[in-house]
Amino acid sequence: MTAKPMVAGTPVTIEYLERFPNFTSICASWTFGQWGCQSNGSYEQTRGEFEAATKNSMPLTLIAIENASSVGMVTSADRDFDGKPHLSPWLKSLFVHPFYREKRIATLLIERLEHEALCLGCKSLYLITEDARVLYEKSGWQATDYVQTPYGAAALMEKVLPKPPHLRTATPGRK
């Protein structure tokens, strides 16, 4: 998928952050402001994580772009929650700028990240959320546990990704 030129009035597109490194500081600012400043992180550490994002492995960050501006993001990474080190990979840092919420951008980011994870060979994804459980349930995620984070009680959620069509097998006795 190639990046499309952005013209005023165009719909939201979902792109790899790697292709638009000028949005790295925005992603780092959103993430650090929303989560990092409460968990003893640093802006520099957060920025470094986004600078390491690629399109062919994890971490992988996708950005939502509208009218040449970044309006949202989501990342997949090998680790996100220290309390469950055996689980991997994770959907993390889903953020949509407040001016662009209620426009299905979060859902588009989730769906595209699930697709990217499937292409990378992932069978499941995990996430932790304190307040967006309903959003993820609408996308087929299920709460499997409850945990405590620096921000409070949270749902541990999982999404089992569908097998790609070329790997699905027919049900015995059906044609």
Please state the pTM of the whole predicted model: 0.84
Does position 135 have pLDDT exceeding 90, yes or no? yes
Least confident of 36-50, 64-78, 94-108, 111-125: 36-50
Residue 174 has pLDDT above 80, yes or no: no
Mean pLDDT to the nearest integer, 135-161: 94
pLDDT digits 0-9 by tens, 54-84: 888 889 999 999 999 999 999 999 988 888 9
| Cα distance between residue 65 and residue 50, in whole Å | 16
Q: Which position has the token pair 């699905």?
A: 168
3-class SS string, 20-83: CHHHHHHHHHHHHHHCHHHCCCCHHHHHHHHHCCCCCCCCEEEEEEECCEEEEEEEEECCCCCC
Report pLDDT for 39: 62
Domains of the chain with CATH codes:
13-122 (3.40.630.30)
Give the whole-number percent of the chain exceeding pLDDT 90. Answer: 64
Q: By the 8 A CB rule, do 28 and 43 touch?
A: yes
Which of the four pLDDT bands, split at 50, 70 and 90, describes residue 34?
A: confident
